[in-house]
Structure 1
């Protein structure tokens, strides 16, 4: 999903805006954020000198491989590997688990992982969970119950004011503080014992692990081991100790969460649908409550953690690119650093540029032969277009895979990309758009909860964020190549110098472009043509494929009202 203000289909009627604002006002949705919040400073535990199972495993694997480099990496391109690696980390951790995410959805896959996290806490592991607050409304707010489990701390980054049971109230909180709320923490980290960790594009939820019946994201993560994970932990600490991170207990009480849960259970009973558990109920006494059973809908691979002893790692030099949390400034204060916080808690690893995306622009300027990019939300600003033009002037081949209108989970974000297509093609950038199922008017402002195609098939939506430079440098992270990632949201990425990993990612991208993407070109008369994927049996098209005329018309009307930096 894009790290933007996602408007659900229920909000698409413009006449409802005034009514929702008034209702939210009378419901008390204009409440502000708490003041004088206690945020005890904590940092990653140094496990390098401790004989944890994971630390020992990393050393054994490095020695067995005879590796020159201290850190190893494994691409997690499939949902089973992505899910199994996280599950394995929850089971193997002995000292610490640190989770940082833009979104954790209250569904079966997240529930399974969070129960593993609770089990780790109950055997003595220190757990810290840092979650961007934008999506924590309604059922998704139940994830915050984790904060009331012993040995688990949970903080919400850049909270949105308003009642969590009411989407209307939260909407009002967003409108009345629009500029601040637009800035989101988009980072993704899953760290165990400070020696193994996962980063990349995935949030936590069914659609990110191939479990959704209607629509699933195509994504890519990296499992990293060794000293590079300490850099990832330092970045986590910088956000955890930032004044924008609010302990859950300062935002909502256990009783309020239980009332919300009861309300959702009654709603599910009224709809004759079972309630999905987001997390185990917190312990209410000194005796922990047992974790609830797994949902019946969990697929077989849910309970199969990756065998980390047999995982194949590529050992290579790497650097962590991490935006500083001060990219999202406090109101009226240009310095978010806590005066008594240690250096490692306030300064993440430096990136080549001012931001992660600036660092990627620097890489583009140094590219000599080929630039291969996946960006699901692709809205290039002037400096990015200059970087592409300069690369083309040097003879660099530039190929970009992004979402088609039909595969975009928030088609309103497609508007910003569409208005730059002809200019990009004119400078020689090769554009490919992921093929997906039919998209209609109902998906204009976000497809969460839609039914997918008319035939009931699962819809594929691109969510990977990848760049391959000259076949030797690979970047995988949370960033999109758009103005939002560059200017507003915070991002994180791994830059790895490895021809083997670059080739592996490049082959996957090549295959997707050939077999699963429309190749967009400009004809002599200026019209755009979408060439069908090889062997698909589909016909070429002169309008956005697999999308309805109504959707295309609506986005054409809304386009002038949607500035690039907000998409």
Structure 2
């Protein structure tokens, strides 16, 4: 999750001393309660689930497919849009206006035009600047778009909106971090990815190493129920109550006039004209989406990708693992206006701690932002006292996109190592085989590519997963930090399957063995130990982080209390 830097919060606070005016939101707009499609079995996706379920000897009613590689994650979402007949429900922390989103939104627009009800619930934090243009979709027929916990003020810049929110910064700091993509209440994608180039391997500068899961069958009903709770909450504002089409057009013109002619991509929320521009005029990043042409979407052409006219995914050939599962979902009240933890109830992170507490042999944690509070430290201490192995993969300083978050983690490293927790930090530069949580292309889990060549994208861990005893796995939107525990809302899938758990574990261990440092406490201080046979070596200081970055992290640390990160 991209986080607001402390510098932006500091700037907003300074500006507040010079400006006493604060904008305000309109009162919550009343709207009739809406729910997910009630008869998924009557749709093509529902019938697909029934066929696949009947062909498997397992008695379970929920099937799963890991989506580690970027092209597989993109293709799965696109396939759900193509196959949907009744409803598409999307819930996201961020939807960025870029090349991959252009394709997905164009496909959503096409689904709406053929009669599919499209509901998009988006956290309001990132809907500024160019990314505000995705809100244009709200003015399409058969599409509803609501913003959760909106911030007042202009959408020109994030700092300006924060300035207007200073009257209630605690509420502004509570964000809907859930990530769901649901079709016909029959199939869904859940996990760590937002929608944008960096999450689908299409950003030339930086890519997030992420993990999703395609879910089918009974557990999707529970995911839809969680979506409906947020959709019908009073903090979900229809876009039209906050911004008009004319406002968006003004923002678009201002952004276009500020850009050089060669750098003016069409906003992702703006409809394509009938005569589309030549392919060469489109953002170069779109080419990366063509990786889905391999075996996931047979026969796909470049024209089909750009125009979002995709052939349907051969769902009957996709391997599914059938297993018992449960949805872990925070209540909307967790990020409501009251600062009462009782409104949150049992949280997703509480569920993770309970699951870890049941471990007998091994706990593997994957979290990009790792700031353990007292409850996490106590859980780890109890596990180690019982001889349970605890391993954590997180970002290094160089791979972390939030310096303050790394500073919060770094202050706990010595205590974690003293407990016997094995700490691994991902290397910012891709390894020789690329950084990926993927596997075989046949299952839509191909390699992420990239390599260590000059100009390769900067890699940053964004996956959120927990594996317990090689038998249970949790994949979702949560980090193991105080923000996910207390301030953000989260959603995750808990699947009790040795096949799925070992699949995640083997992929993570592949990263540990090729592209992560193990942090060790030595008499001479911390040592970042490279994997055996790696092309890179050990380090006595934060690896790949220059002196300026290390100095900045040290400067920020005293002003970055754990509870604010």
TM-score (norm 2): 0.88
Q: CA deviation at 1:64?
A: 1.4
Measure the CA separation in 1 of the matches of 2:491 and 2:401.
22
Contact 2:6 2:404 in 1 (8 A): no
Q: CA deviation at 1:307?
A: 2.9
Question: Pick from 271, 275, 295: which aligns with 2:265?
Answer: 275
Q: Which moved more, 1:163-172 or 1:88-97?
A: 163-172
Measure the CA separation in 1 of the matches of 2:64 and 2:131.
32
Secondary structure in structure 1 of the residue aligned to 2:263: coil
After superposition, what is the alpha-carbon deviation per residue over 1:317-338, rounded to whole angstroms, capped at 9, x for unaligned? 00000000011123599999xx
Structure 2 CA distance for partners of 1:317 and 1:292, relative to 1, 3 Å? farther
Contact 1:218 1:462 in 2 (8 A): yes
Contact 1:137 1:164 in 2 (8 A): yes
Partner residue in 2 for 1:537: 535
Partner residue in 2 for 1:481: 480
Aligned pairs, number: 521
Structure 2 CA distance for partners of 1:409 and 1:292, relative to 1, 3 Å? farther
Over aligned residue pairs, what C-alpha RMSD do you find?
2.4
Contact 2:476 2:492 in 1 (8 A): yes
Measure the CA separation in 1 of the matches of 2:360 and 2:80.
38
Measure the CA separation in 2 of the matches of 1:410 and 1:397.
28
Secondary structure in structure 1 of the residue aligned to 2:473: strand
Measure the CA separation in 2 of the matches of 1:175 and 1:556.
27
Partner residue in 2 for 1:549: 547
Structure 2 CA distance for partners of 1:495 and 1:332, relative to 1, 3 Å? closer
Measure the CA separation in 2 of the matches of 1:7 and 1:136.
19
Contact 1:431 1:519 in 2 (8 A): yes
Partner residue in 2 for 1:417: 409
Q: CA deviation at 1:535?
A: 2.2
Q: Superposed, which structure 2 residues align to 1:308-387 within 5 Å?
A: 308-331=315-338, 354-387=346-379
Measure the CA separation in 2 of the matches of 1:235 and 1:99.
12
Structure 2 CA distance for partners of 1:86 and 1:387, relative to 1, 3 Å? same
Structure 2, gaps ≥5 residues long? 293-304, 431-451
Matched, 1:390 2:382: yes
Structure 2 CA distance for partners of 1:431 and 1:166, relative to 1, 3 Å? closer
Measure the CA separation in 1 of the matches of 2:484 and 2:218.
27
Measure the CA separation in 1 of the matches of 2:342 and 2:390.
38
Structure 2 CA distance for partners of 1:495 and 1:252, relative to 1, 3 Å? same
Secondary structure in structure 1 of the residue aligned to 2:247: helix
Matched, 1:498 2:505: no
Measure the CA separation in 1 of the matches of 2:71 and 2:30.
39
Partner residue in 1 for 2:398: 406
Matched, 1:259 2:257: no
Matched, 1:92 2:83: yes
Q: CA deviation at 1:174?
A: 3.8
Measure the CA separation in 2 of the matches of 1:420 and 1:332.
27
Structure 2 CA distance for partners of 1:19 and 1:180, relative to 1, 3 Å? closer
Q: CA deviation at 1:264?
A: 1.4
Structure 2 CA distance for partners of 1:166 and 1:424, relative to 1, 3 Å? closer
Q: CA deviation at 1:552?
A: 1.1
Partner residue in 1 for 2:314: 307
Q: Superposed, which structure 2 residues align to 1:177-196 within 5 Å?
A: 177-196=168-187
Structure 2 CA distance for partners of 1:489 and 1:334, relative to 1, 3 Å? closer
Q: Which moved more, 1:295-304 or 1:70-79?
A: 295-304
Measure the CA separation in 1 of the matches of 2:473 and 2:556.
36
Measure the CA separation in 2 of the matches of 1:333 and 1:250.
28
Measure the CA separation in 1 of the matches of 2:141 and 2:12.
41
After superposition, what is the alpha-carbon deviation per residue over 1:121-147, rounded to whole angstroms, capped at 9, x for unaligned? 000000000000000001101111111
Q: CA deviation at 1:505?
A: 0.6
Structure 2 CA distance for partners of 1:168 and 1:435, relative to 1, 3 Å? closer
Measure the CA separation in 2 of the matches of 1:247 and 1:7.
30
Secondary structure in structure 1 of the residue aligned to 2:381: helix
Q: CA deviation at 1:82?
A: 0.1
Contact 1:108 1:277 in 2 (8 A): no
Q: Which moved more, 1:407-416 or 1:95-104?
A: 407-416
Matched, 1:513 2:512: yes
TM-score (norm 1): 0.87
Structure 1, gaps ≥5 residues long? 283-288, 337-350, 439-452
Secondary structure in structure 2 of the residue aligned to 1:432: strand
Secondary structure in structure 2 of the residue aligned to 1:309: helix
Q: Superposed, which structure 2 residues align to 1:210-229 within 5 Å?
A: 210-229=201-220
Measure the CA separation in 2 of the matches of 1:205 and 1:152.
20
Secondary structure in structure 2 of the residue aligned to 1:560: helix
Secondary structure in structure 2 of the residue aligned to 1:161: coil
Secondary structure in structure 1 of the residue aligned to 2:40: coil
Structure 2 CA distance for partners of 1:335 and 1:389, relative to 1, 3 Å? closer
Contact 1:81 1:306 in 2 (8 A): no
Structure 2 CA distance for partners of 1:7 and 1:274, relative to 1, 3 Å? farther
Contact 1:128 1:154 in 2 (8 A): yes
Q: CA deviation at 1:155?
A: 0.3
Matched, 1:111 2:111: no
Contact 2:334 2:341 in 1 (8 A): no
Partner residue in 1 for 2:200: 209
Secondary structure in structure 2 of the residue aligned to 1:408: coil
Q: Which moved more, 1:82-91 or 1:157-166?
A: 157-166
Question: Pick from 129, 133, 137: which aligns with 1:146?
Answer: 137
Matched, 1:235 2:226: yes
Q: Which moved more, 1:315-324 or 1:547-556?
A: 547-556
Measure the CA separation in 2 of the matches of 1:334 and 1:536.
46
